[in-house]
């Protein structure tokens, strides 16, 4: 009986062995784009839409996006209620929004990423705004996060 139990446990252990999955990491690689390669119209569009989102915090009025500017998922997720909630927290901690300063343009296999340093009235504010533009020239994501000084260094490690 003990042998049968041992054999069953051994078979289960062998049967549950995890498999190695090889992934194509080329899709995940981010490369810095030189200033000459940047599409000026796309850069202007990313700046204007990013600024429109953050200026909502100052004016409390949000002009909704349309289908020619952003993807449907961004349109659904960027609601006035969500922006108001985020803006209240940002104004409390960082003060009023001043402007966006372009820090770099990066490219993945499917998207161009515009990385902006968001400038606020309080000096403690150290935030960044990343605007992701897909191959259809639509904003596919808008991400606000703490400023990462080592972002470029992480790219060289890839």
Q: What's the CATH number for 39-157?
A: 3.10.450
Structure tokens, 127:
């935030």
pLDDT tens-digit series, residues 3-62: 776 677 666 667 666 666 655 555 568 888 887 888 899 999 999 999 999 998 888 888
Cα torsion 43, 45, 47, 49 to 10°: value is: -150
- What predicted TM-score, i.e. pTM, was given to this entire model? 0.78
pLDDT tens-digit series, residues 66-107: 999 999 999 998 888 888 888 888 889 999 999 999 999 999
152 three-state secondary structure: helix
pLDDT of residue 100: 95
Q: Do 114 and 137 touch, CB atoms closer than 8 A? A: no
pLDDT over threshold 90, residue 113: yes
Residues 6+ apart with CB under 8 A from 38: 105
- Largest Cα–Cα separation, the chain: 76
Residue environment code for 77-109, b if the CB has 16+ CB neighbours within 10 A, otherwise e: ebeeeebeeebeebbeebbebeebeebbbbbee
Domain ranges, ordered by start, for the chain: 39-157
pLDDT bracket for residue 138 (50, 70, 90): very high
């Amino acid at each position: 009986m003990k042998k049968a139990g041992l054999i069953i446990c051994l078979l289960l252990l062998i049967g549950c062995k995890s498999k190695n999955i090889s992934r194509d990491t080329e899709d995940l690689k981010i490369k810095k784009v030189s200033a000459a390669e940047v599409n000026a119209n796309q850069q202007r569009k990313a700046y204007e839409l990013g600024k429109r989102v953050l200026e909502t915090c100052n004016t409390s009025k949000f002009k909704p996006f349309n289908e020619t500017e952003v993807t449907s998922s961004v349109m659904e997720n960027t609601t006035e209620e969500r922006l108001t909630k985020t803006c209240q927290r940002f104004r409390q901690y960082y003060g009023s929004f001043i402007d966006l300063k372009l820090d770099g343009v990066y490219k993945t296999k499917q998207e161009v990423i515009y990385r902006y340093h968001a400038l606020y009235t309080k000096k403690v504010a150290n935030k960044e705004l990343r605007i992701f533009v897909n191959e259809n020239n639509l904003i596919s994501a808008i991400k606000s996060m703490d400023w990462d000084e080592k972002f470029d260094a992480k790219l060289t490690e890839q």
